[in-house]
Structure 1
Amino acid sequence: MKTPTVTPAAGAAFPSGATDIETRAYAKVTRRLVPFLMLCYLGAYLDRVNVGFAKLQMLSDLQWSNTVYGLGAGVFFLGYFLFEVPSNMILHRFGARRWLARIMITWAMISASFAFVSSPTMFYVLRFLLGVAEAGFAPGVILYITYWFPSARRAKVMGLFFMAIPLASIVGAPLSGWIMESFAGVHGLRGWQWLFALEAIPSLILGITILFYLDDSIAGAKWLSAEEKAVLQRNIAAENDGKAAHQTIRDFLADKRLWLLTAIYFCIVMGQYGLTFWLPTIVRNAGVSGMEEVGLLAAIPYLVALVCLPLVGRNSDRTRARRMHCGVPMVAAAIALFALPFTDGVGTALALLSVAAAGALCGTSQFWALPTAFLGGMAAAAGIATINCIANLAGFFSPSLVGWLNDFTGKQGAGLMLTSAMLLIGACLVTLLPKQAVDR
């Protein structure tokens, strides 16, 4: 679906002093869309990573190794990779409302099916199908945000949207621990089985709600006045006039910036999921035993990230130093992960995990201010999906390699070193991006 365009008035792009109508319009859009999209992404992320908590019981119940778990956690991203670009193209062509609803309803049903997993093969198949079902949601929402917000306002919105990741862990970690302990044995099911069944319900409800709540475009938003619509459309049209419009697939694939951005995001995802899938295990190995206690303590690093995300996003929009706000948090996360194996005690481990979580998630949110600064229209739909789908293969390699390294060496520090190195490499690659293309 194409965003409606209006011929921009002279000098109408993004004045430093916004008009009252413009300020009011963006405040309305933010209040209407961002909290709801955050809630949807919270459901998505919860269903994607609750396997990290289920692991604490599944491995002993089903007699699986870390390698089996790591491969199963990672195979999600193979399905994600194969179906993400087609998903985003369909969304751009036919609209976000129905397509995002389809994504959420489908993955909720598959996520609930994990309660009946009994073999590694079944685990792998369902994780793959979950990736297929969810493909396109995160990049679809990122694309959807570009329909409403110009790049000058987007870093703050991205920071708010990606707060859903730490929120999912702040809510999900204690909730997962409570479900696994409180529901263990109810109707003959184990705690991890109830975990998958119950945590799929919010996604199902939100998927149905999307059909009645979201609008496909500015033009269709009945809650905006005609003046507000005109201002928003004018800003988007003015910005899109200066963005890349690849004429052929060859031109698109030949854009070196696209592949540099893909490499950067690959490194970020390696760090993010290396932390996400193994954080409960790290907390437990630091000396915490009970499931509920692990859940409560595992939420602390994400609470720190929750505070940092909007602050970094707001400062990025104020300074327009996009590269710095992406790269510096990645370096901080890399240093914290590198130091983890050399420390003792729950307090020190939580402090380092907090730095790592805040750094990795701030890097993730601020990364998406980079490609959307110079890609628009169908190029944005394809570009965002291409970057996300290829880079998210790191979500396959990260838990798989970390699990294998931990089994091979007998130490969890080996996987953390790999994760740290990838974040540091990604931060170095950020400096190669042309300043004039992204720092605006």
Structure 2
Amino acid sequence: MSTTPIPKTSRELLQSPVLKSAISKAAKRLMPMLVILYVVSFLDRTNVGFAEAGLEVDRGISASAYAFGAGFFFVGYAIFEIPSNLLLQKVGAKIWLARIAITWGIVSACFAFVQGPTSFILLRFLLGVTEAGLFPGVILFLSQWFPNKVRVQMFAIFYLAQPFSQMIGSPLSGWLINVGNDLGSIRGWQLMFAVEGGLAILAGIACLFFLIDSPAKAKFLSVEEKAALAEIMALEDTVKDETGPRGVGAALRNGKVWYFTVIYFCLQIAVYGVTFYLPQQVSALTGTKVGLQVGLLSAIPWFFGIFACYFVGKAATTVERRRKFGVVLFITTGLSLFGAAYAGSNSLPTLGIIFLTLTVCSFLAVGPVTWSYPTAFLSGTAAAAGIGLINSLGNLGGFVAPNLRNIVNGWFDSDGPAGVVALGILPFVAAVMMFMTYRFKNKADELL
């Protein structure tokens, strides 16, 4: 067994070949499973966009009931987010993430049996309850495995699940709807929910075999690699303990935690304002019914989003770069939403697809940058509670987005651009707040 000493200073640790080897091995072992998990998660929470027309025709679910149900997911999600993350901290990521995936897969498959608005809204709430804790749990999990220097890159790889989900899921959902409608015995949207819910159950089972709770339990790391990871993570935790909140209560009262909750809320307004209605927007732009063709066209923005997310994550290695990227990307998100609204109201399909692509690229790329801030000053149970709070309340943007869009369109008595324009305002608020983070000083940033 080699006895090569591990460097002791933070900068030496970050340059250590042993640490780099450990990070590389951990990324190769953990990230594929986490990406797959989030792919099916994002698919199961957004495939409702492909079912809207069928639910209205077959089950009498109106546009307002659909908007309320689509967003009501985030109410259950918000209520159980923090408790779920605290339980993950207690029982371990492997068991808890597997439980989350299996139970949400069962609920997702049950959408095939929706009978009307009440059952639809109830199942959306239960889907939020069962999925609560997945995203913040993974963010917490990654913050325990990877040092701050490379964390944005890991977050970006995890975020790739969103475009992969829509690239794969949009054509899959459209194809399943076509196949189901051709069968005659069931409706296409029923087949879509049943199959895609089953995928989540399989992903949950796979978690039990591929995830490892901590570096100390990782058999794929050498003794030296475990020690290198343990030392750099302990150093960062010590710095966080000196400057960040300690314990659940302190995290929930922390001003910075609430600051980033507002930023994340503005981001989610844009994310779900687009995601829930992307198939319908593409359908309206092209004059084509929702199906395989619309699914393929809907995948275009997500395809380009992969590159934006990856390259920004790879480049955002300093605090200054993260702030600049954040400001520019939030502004781009808002402007692109305005452009998409203009293209839609003027029947310009090519321009509409371009603006939707810019919107998706910018909000995907800014997500990992946003999460780099709270994970730089939160640790332990404070991290579990703080990350849970940011994600739970921030994700209420997913409840507000479809309902705000529906309300604003109602004011103008049309399904025109007004609702999309309303959603485009919030990213500018986030851009200003991201710029003002230059006032925040975290000792952990000195390790970058």
1:167 aligns with 2:167: no
Displacement, 1:200?
1.1
Aligned-pair CA distance for 1:16: 8.0
Which range moved further: 315-324 or 183-192? Answer: 315-324
Judge which range, 240-249 or 83-92, deviates more: 240-249
> For the residues of structure 1 that align with 2:143 and 2:249, how far apart are their CA atoms?
24
Partners of 2:13 and 2:228 within 8 A in 1: no
Q: CA deviation at 1:286?
A: 0.6
- The more displaced of 247-256 and 392-401 is 247-256
Report the residue type matching 2:229 in the other structure: L
Assess, with a 3 A threshold, how the Cα gap between structure 1 residues 67 and 14 changes in structure 2: closer, same or farther: farther
- Over aligned residue pairs, what C-alpha RMSD do you find? 1.8
Residues 177-210 of structure 1 deviation map (CA, whole Å, 9 limit, x = unaligned): 1111122152611111111001112111110111
Alpha-carbon shift at residue 246 of structure 1 (Å): 2.8
Pairing partner for 1:121 from 94, 111, 118: 118
Q: Tell me the residue number matched to 2:335.
A: 335
Choose which of 428, 434, 437 in structure 1 pairs with 2:432.
Answer: 428
Matches for 1:18-417 after TM superposition, within 5 Å:
18-186=15-183, 188-244=185-241, 245-247=244-246, 251-290=250-289, 291-317=291-317, 321-343=321-343, 344-409=347-412, 410-417=414-421
Give unmatched runs, 5+ long, in structure 1: 1-7
| Residues 56 and 281 in structure 1, CA contact (< 8 A), matched pair in contact too | no
Q: Out of 19-28 and 241-250, give the one that drifted further.
A: 241-250
CA distance in 2, matches of 1:227, 1:280: 50
Output one character per residue of 1:123-155: Cα deviation in whole Å (capped at 9) or x when no partner.
010000000000000000000001110111101
Shift, 1:403, TM fit: 2.4
CA distance in 2, matches of 1:181, 1:137: 31
Structure 1 window deviating more from structure 2 (37-46 vs 400-409): it is: 400-409
Tell me which stretches of 4 or more aligned residues in structure 1 moved more than 4 Å: 8-11, 247-250
Tell whether the 8 Å contact from 1:173 to 1:298 is kept in structure 2 after alignment. yes
Q: Larger deviation: 315-324 or 303-312?
A: 315-324
State how far apart, in whole Å, the 2-side matches of 1:43 and 1:414 are: 32
Distance 1:9 1:228 in 2: 9
Q: TM-score, normalised by structure 2?
A: 0.93
8 A contact 2:103–2:130 mirrored in 1:
yes
- Normalized per residue, the structure richer in helix is 2
Identity %: 37
State the distance in 1 between where 2:145 and 2:94 align: 14
1:60 Cα deviation (Å)? 2.4
Which AA in structure 2 matches 1:421?
Answer: I
Q: Which amino acid aligns with 2:95?
A: R
One-letter code of the match for 1:281?
Q
Deviations 1:73-109 (A, max 9, x none): 0000000011000000010111111111100000000
1:26-71 alpha-carbon deviations (Å, 9 max, x no partner): 1101111111100110010000100011113222222332211110
Aligned-partner SS, 1:188: coil
Note the C-alpha offset of 1:399: 1.3
Query: Residues 62 and 399 (structure 1 numbering): CA distance in 2 closer, same or farther, change over 3 Å?
Result: same
CA distance in 1, matches of 2:307, 2:248: 41
The CA distance in 1 between the partners of 2:173 and 2:27, in whole Å, is: 30
Residue identity in the other structure for 1:72: G
* CA distance in 2 between partners of 1:296 and 1:278 (Å): 15
Q: List runs of 5+ in structure 2 lacking aligned partners.
A: none
Instruction: Give me the whole-angstrom Cα distance separating, in 2, the residues matched to 1:202 and 1:298.
Output: 21
C-alpha displacement of 1:10? 7.4
Q: 1:4 corresponds to which residue?
A: none
What is the deviation of 1:319? 6.7
- For the residue of structure 2 that corresponds to 1:204, the secondary structure is helix
What secondary structure is seen at the aligned counterpart in 1 of 2:436?
Answer: coil
- CA-CA distance at 1:218 after TM superposition: 0.6
CA contact (8 A) 2:33 2:211 kept: no
Structure-1-length-normalised TM-score: 0.94
Cα displacement (A) at 1:249: 5.1
SS in structure 2 opposite 1:411?
coil
- Whole-angstrom CA distance in 2 between matches of 1:15 and 1:127: 49
Query: How many angstroms apart in 2 are the aligned matches of 1:248 and 1:160?
Result: 29
Query: C-alpha displacement at 1:400, in angstroms?
Result: 1.6
Call closer, same or farther: CA 1:392–1:88 in 2, change over 3 Å: same
User: Could you tell me how far apart the structure 2 residues matched to 1:21 and 1:35 are?
Assistant: 22
The worse-fitting range, judged by mean Cα deviation, of 403-412 and 361-370 is: 403-412
Q: Distance in 2 between matches of 1:402 and 1:21?
A: 51
